[in-house]
Amino acid sequence: MTGTQPLRLELSPSGVFAATILTLYAAASACMLLVLPGVSGLVLAGLLLALGAAAAWDRALLRGSRSPRAIEIHASGQALLVLRNGESAPMKSGGGVGVTRCWVALKTGFPARPSVLVAQDMLGREPFRLLRLWALWGRVPSVAPGQLRT
């Protein structure tokens, strides 16, 4: 990572995350049918499934116009979330809260999207490791000041 160019982590769609979202919304739809039988339950269950599909489309498959596109981490430790429509907003590292081996949950500066979940398969192995380090410590590893780069 150089001092002038930010580390850009390009996000890719996650089929596993999308399937998880759809499975959870399908379970919620089934519960709705059990609790509220009849036409009204069927309509609400269908609406829940549609909401799940929209969430998977935007959050996991990254196809919405305001879906996350990339995360830029600057040498200063500041990070930006870049959306598909070109907007960007600062992100905050959680100091270890929301960081696991499989996903990283981050706070954003967007009022309509206060957080973003990055699944393990949305980034390569090394970029995901760097994102986890940033989320834990607020910076990524680099060459120490005064040390020669090789």
- Domain of residue 46, residue span: 7-137
- Rounded alpha-carbon distances, angstroms, from residue 127 to 35, 46, 69, 120: 44, 38, 14, 10
Retrieve residue 56's tokens.
Answer: 């998977």
Q: Which residue has the higher pLDDT, 146 or 60?
A: 60
Has residue 137 got a pLDDT over 90?
no
On whether residue 145 sits in a domain, the answer given is no
Q: Domain tally for the chain?
A: 1
Residue 150 included in any domain = no
Q: Assess whether pLDDT exceeds 80 at residue 146.
A: no
What integer pLDDT is reported at residue 150 of this predicted model? Answer: 55
The residue count for the chain: 150
Looking at residue 97, its pLDDT comes to 76
Q: What is the pLDDT of residue 143?
A: 52
The answer, as to whether pTM is greater than 0.85, is no
